[in-house]
Amino acid sequence: MREYSCVHRGRAEPLDLHLAMFLPTLLNQASPEQMETFFIPAWNLDIIGTYAQTEMGHGTHLRGLETTATYDPATQEFVLNSPTITSIKWWPGGLGKTSNHAIVLAQLHTQGKCHGLHAFIVPLRSMNTHIPLPGVVVGDIGPKFGFDEVDNGYLKLENVRIPREHMLMKYAKVEADGTYVKPPSAKLTYGTMVFIRSMIVGEAGSALAKSCTIAIRYSSVRHQSEIRPGEPEPQIMDYQTQQYKLFPLLATAYAYKFVGQYMNQVYHRITGDISQGDFSELPELHALSAGLKAFTTWTASEGIEVCRMACGGHGYSRCSALPDIYVNFVATCTYEGENTVMMLQTARFLIKSYQQASAGHQLSGIVSYLNESERRLQPQSVSSRPTVVNVNDLASLVEAYKLRAAKLVEVAAKSIQQELQKRVSQEDAWNNSAIDLVRASNAHCHYVVVKLFAAKLGEIGDTGVHSVLSTLALLYALQGIQQHSGDFLQTGLLSVPQLSQVSQRLKELLAQLRPNAVALVDAFDYCDEMLNSVLGRYDGNVYEHMFEWARRSPLNKTEVHESYHKYLKPLQAKL
Amino acid sequence: MREYSCVHRGRAEPLDLHLAMFLPTLLNQASPEQMETFFIPAWNLDIIGTYAQTEMGHGTHLRGLETTATYDPATQEFVLNSPTITSIKWWPGGLGKTSNHAIVLAQLHTQGKCHGLHAFIVPLRSMNTHIPLPGVVVGDIGPKFGFDEVDNGYLKLENVRIPREHMLMKYAKVEADGTYVKPPSAKLTYGTMVFIRSMIVGEAGSALAKSCTIAIRYSSVRHQSEIRPGEPEPQIMDYQTQQYKLFPLLATAYAYKFVGQYMNQVYHRITGDISQGDFSELPELHALSAGLKAFTTWTASEGIEVCRMACGGHGYSRCSALPDIYVNFVATCTYEGENTVMMLQTARFLIKSYQQASAGHQLSGIVSYLNESERRLQPQSVSSRPTVVNVNDLASLVEAYKLRAAKLVEVAAKSIQQELQKRVSQEDAWNNSAIDLVRASNAHCHYVVVKLFAAKLGEIGDTGVHSVLSTLALLYALQGIQQHSGDFLQTGLLSVPQLSQVSQRLKELLAQLRPNAVALVDAFDYCDEMLNSVLGRYDGNVYEHMFEWARRSPLNKTEVHESYHKYLKPLQAKL
């Protein structure tokens, strides 16, 4: 969501949730009358809002949220409460000190019945003095791993009354007498989640692209040690181990950027359908966005750290910018749906599709391979299968990834069946197969990424660009095979000699990419102001600027730091 | 090295290098006269020292260090200089603002010849005023990922003169006329490195043990979502995916603690031999400590983040303590020898040993398996081999890890041979095989850890403890096989059906460990003050204390933060 931010490019800030959640939620869920009341003041920053969903005791599991909004027909108001300590709203950005309003998600009670989560606009602070309103206990939740500039907050509501018109009523409604009117479709709220998760996939590409830019530029500035005795110290980029760390990540950054673009396109196409009442593609997109969000954020987070450590000691300094990229990006593994939960959501869709395919249904869309595999993965002699895959041909590798995914979905489905045969409940069978389910989702997402990368190549006309991106795509596919070689061997998709071939080919691709590596990160086109990294400077003038950066350290304001007079000198006197 | 610290238990602080490097280096390398001059003042904190080795342009590659110490017989002084910007000393802890002395590593020049790196005691700041001395440009290097409390510093020396007696002269010497006297053995300085690296292995165990304590305790406090509909929300520890994240790390923490103990014992045994002039075991220990330092710090760092993310959103708050554990521990991947360089050092020893074995020499010590494997890894039918391994028997798994290591050393050695056949130089052949070499080192280290874990079980008399630790050891070994299943399949050590057995067995072990998980982290015996984690509290009273912790956030000192008056109100007025 940081792409929205207007003050510091690329950095989180207190108004992020106002811009990325409060305003869009108004747009999507406010009635025309509510738009009139709230939108212009919010646009003008008189109303500064945030989106308060997560509570201390519940995050991803939305049904567990405890905040209540009880309708009182006598006054035509909702009464909001945080009934327990765990129900205190926790984490919303800008909630602690900045916002004067929040969209609060609460369990709606009216006429003695609970109708589940609904959204309410709750004024938090006086528009004149910014002092919290009666019944509103609000504050900052304290220091975090990253997001230093954001006042993530807590909110405890004690009999806070808001007018009936403050419930967002574009879809669901509560009438003056308390009658509840259902929304036309429960799936509508999916849309926003899908949109945000597809944004995060693109962000995974960007965060990794920035990190690769820094590490690859620095690796061609830094000289160290020796390869050949007597010769000058080589650029550290010339070490095969350095190439093996960075180039697959470079390929991954390109892959995720393409996947992010694709998901954005699909989202916009599907929202067109949705606005015409066609929800048919939504479950697939929902499942895909959940899994890909998890898949890309996990690998990108790890990749940022690999980039940081590839810069040696100086990567640890905040002058490299990599520590900040990491702490801010890694939060995406947890927010907007915890990654393991996301993977299991995708798995649910895969298993359902697998069962449909097994029952003879023809599947459409990205999971249609589960039909195909039903036919192709029948037992056959192990030795005959590997010949199918050509490790030098991307299309053939896409096929291998597909069959791996199909096989692992099957393994997970069989694990569930076996558990059920032990007479455990459906739910326990699911939980007892969760490791296999996550593994299947991972394989599915990996297949989708490889497939989309390969598809992207078809859109590229320029021969030079096509050639180097083909190398990157091949590198991406082969490195994934090497990392998961067990899966490919186990399913009989590759033979042992082919795996040695993969290793050999990978080394060749690294050497082949070496001359283009800097150009490939320059092509991401991050200006120095955006990267904010001494190591990743475009001009390569690293060391002078590192010294300059260090001299500006807050501790260097005085030659003798106050701690000397305060602690050290008295301590020396005592001993 | 944080184990030394005296003020905050377990946290880095400005005096760490004084205690862990300055004093020990005096003890090891100062002559009796120098001990008399420097040790007591240093012990009394009149002299506060640090250890200045790393420069802006060189870290792990010591020969590349550029600082010079040139002997001037006219005044019987050394003249110290930082001849280039890259030669500025960079990173030493406590150098920026705290220390008034440093042991400076510099290239010794005397009588027109350079004799390589030697250590010099350099006064940096006035003992009365703490103001930097003439020619000394010293300061803090600025904010870092972690180590907030440590003033890591820079040091630029401009014709700084020190008396001849300030060169540490227990071994090498420079006489009054400038004659250089060589040390008796170049291997002596290895000792300290080995010691520190073996300490780091133990720290990897501790950092992971702390993280597991926090995550496992919190996982039994946190209730979320549902496994069986209608039942109360389960402890998140009951999810198979959560167990799969945490229990193998718990096993790893135990493993690394045992390995750390073992290395410490070996170090002390070998230093006894060294003091009697027997260096025979030093190369092996040096190689082992390099590789194990890299192996354990990489996996422990990743593991800490897995623990943090297993705590969901609250893991991201510094109240969990996990962000601080991570940023401080992950530095070990880089300092005291960058991990990839360490892995390649171990590989050098392995390849040398492999070549000796191939030439018919009988190897001793931990690499003796390279002899054995020479005989056992001869081509034989793939189908006959897997029966050797029994996946339920730890001894048999140790054997499998050994053969995997042997095989991967062989693969790396063969890659070098193949490169040499292409008529590239020895050095290029090495670099072009570096991926395989690191892989071989990893497999070697993994074998050593599994082997030592299994050996430790033999020392445990108590049946209950023996039983639960055996389960952990088996879990550790089997999870490693699952993660590296490609290696085990590729080498024909395991069959595909055996791998399915491994998956099944792993799930059983997780369920088996579930009831003991909290007891197993309690056994690490970290008190609440040491953990400093709201999530990891012994009493499990997490939510109340999280609210209390948050209310003490610096931003909550006032109800309306100054940023409102300074920025927000003027901004609102303008729009």
| Chain A residue with Cα closest to B324 | A145
* Contact: B309, A233; criterion CB under 8 Å: no
In a mutational test of the B interface, the residue from A553, A560, A565 whose CB has the highest number of chain B CBs within 10 Å is A553
* Contact: B142, A96; criterion CB under 8 Å: no
Per-residue pLDDT of chain A (575 residues; tens, 9 = 90+): 333 444 455 678 899 999 989 999 999 899 999 999 999 999 999 999 999 999 999 988 888 999 999 999 999 999 999 999 999 999 999 999 999 999 999 999 999 999 999 999 999 999 999 999 999 999 999 999 999 999 999 999 999 999 999 999 999 999 999 999 998 876 666 677 788 898 999 999 999 999 999 999 999 999 998 878 888 899 999 999 999 999 999 999 999 999 999 999 988 888 777 777 777 777 888 889 999 999 999 999 999 999 999 999 999 999 999 999 999 999 999 999 999 999 999 999 999 999 999 999 999 888 999 987 655 555 444 444 445 799 999 999 999 999 999 999 999 999 999 999 999 999 999 999 999 999 999 999 999 999 999 999 999 999 999 999 999 999 999 999 999 999 999 989 999 999 999 999 999 999 999 999 999 999 999 999 999 999 999 999 999 999 999 999 999 999 999 999 999 999 888 87
**DSSP string spanning A261-320?**
HHHHHHHHHHHHHHHTT--TTHHHHHHHHHHHHHHHHHHHHHHHHHHHHHTGGGGGBGGG
A544 touches chain B (CB under 8 A): yes
Q: Count CB atoms within 10 A of the CB of residue B433.
A: 26
| Chain A residue with Cα closest to B554 | A142
| Per-residue model confidence (pLDDT) at position B382 | 43
Q: Mean pLDDT over residues B363-380, rounded?
A: 73
**DSSP string spanning A99-157?**
-SEEEEEEEEEETTEEEEEEEEEEE-B-TTT-PBPTTEEEEE---BSS-TT---EEEEE
Distance, in Å, from the CA atom of A288 to the CA atom of A195, rounded to the nearest integer, reads: 12
Query: What is the 8-class DSSP label of residue B232?
Result: P
Using a CB-CB cut-off of 8 Å, the residues of chain B touching A96 are 553, 555-556
A330 touches chain B (CB under 8 A): yes
Q: Mean pLDDT over residues B36-43, rounded?
A: 96
| Per-residue model confidence (pLDDT) at position B350 | 97
Q: Mean pLDDT over residues B4-22, rounded?
A: 75
Partnered with residue A132 across adjacent β-strands are A125
* Contact: A428, B568; criterion CB under 8 Å: no
Query: What is the 8-class DSSP label of residue A235?
Result: B
B229 touches chain A (CB under 8 A): yes
Bigger pLDDT: B56 vs A282: B56
Q: What is the pTM of this model?
A: 0.95
Distance, in Å, from the CA atom of A243 to the CA atom of A506, rounded to the nearest integer, reads: 11
Q: Is B165 among the catalytic positions? A: no
State pLDDT tens for residues B28-39. 899 999 999 999
| Per-residue model confidence (pLDDT) at position B375 | 53
| Per-residue model confidence (pLDDT) at position A279 | 73
- Whether the predicted pLDDT of B384 surpasses 50: no
B417 confidence band (pLDDT: 50, 70, 90): very high
State pLDDT tens for residues B467-515. 999 999 999 999 999 999 999 999 899 999 999 999 999 999 999 999 9
B228 touches chain A (CB under 8 A): yes
A86 touches chain B (CB under 8 A): yes
Distance, in Å, from the CA atom of A312 to the CA atom of A292, rounded to the nearest integer, reads: 31
Distance, in Å, from the CA atom of B535 to the CA atom of A275, rounded to the nearest integer, reads: 44
> Do the Cβ atoms of B218 and B311 come closer than 8 Å?
yes
B55, B336, B399, B410: the catalytic one is B336
ipTM of the complex, rounded to two decimals: 0.95
Query: What is the 8-class DSSP label of residue B223?
Result: B
* Contact: B96, A334; criterion CB under 8 Å: no
Distance, in Å, from the CA atom of A213 to the CA atom of A138, rounded to the nearest integer, reads: 41
| Chain A residue with Cα closest to B411 | A500
| Residues of A involved in catalysis | 336
State pLDDT tens for residues B261-294. 999 998 888 877 777 777 777 788 888 999 999 9
Burial degree of A501 (CB within 10 A; 0-12, 13-18, 19+): middle
C-alpha neighbours within 13 Å on the C-beta side of residue B400: 32
A positions 369-428 inside 8 Å of B (CB): 425, 427-428
Q: Mean pLDDT over residues B233-245, rounded?
A: 97
Q: Is the dihedral of CA B85, B89, B91, B97 positive or negative?
A: negative
| Per-residue model confidence (pLDDT) at position B28 | 87
**DSSP string spanning B274-292?**
HHTT--TTHHHHHHHHHHH
Chain centre to alpha carbon of residue A448: 16
- Mean pLDDT (chain B, rounded): 93
State pLDDT tens for residues B335-345. 999 999 999 99
Q: Mean pLDDT over residues B231-244, rounded?
A: 95
Q: Are strands B49-52 and B101-110 parallel, antiparallel or unpaired?
A: parallel
Query: What is the 8-class DSSP label of residue B361?
Result: P
> Do the Cβ atoms of A42 and A180 come closer than 8 Å?
no
Query: What is the 8-class DSSP label of residue A566?
Result: I
| Per-residue model confidence (pLDDT) at position A62 | 86
Low-confidence winner among A24-28, B104-108, B386-390 (lowest mean pLDDT): B386-390
State pLDDT tens for residues B194-225. 888 989 999 999 999 999 999 999 999 999 98
B230 confidence band (pLDDT: 50, 70, 90): confident
Distance, in Å, from the CA atom of A349 to the CA atom of A345, rounded to the nearest integer, reads: 7
- Tell me, what amino acid is at A254? Y
Distance, in Å, from the CA atom of A93 to the CA atom of A50, rounded to the nearest integer, reads: 7
> Do the Cβ atoms of B551 and A140 come closer than 8 Å?
no
Partnered with residue A72 across adjacent β-strands are A77
Phi-psi label, residue B277: left if phi above 0, alpha if psi -120 to 50, beta otherwise? left
* Contact: A130, B569; criterion CB under 8 Å: yes
* Contact: A145, B339; criterion CB under 8 Å: no
| Per-residue model confidence (pLDDT) at position B379 | 47
A positions 25-44 inside 8 Å of B (CB): 44
| Per-residue model confidence (pLDDT) at position A196 | 87
Q: Count CB atoms within 10 A of the CB of residue A195.
A: 18
| Chain B residue with Cα closest to A322 | B145
A positions 287-306 inside 8 Å of B (CB): 301-302, 305
> Do the Cβ atoms of B412 and B431 come closer than 8 Å?
no
A519 touches chain B (CB under 8 A): no
H or E element: which one contains A324?
helix A322-329
Number of H helices, E strands in chain B: 21, 11
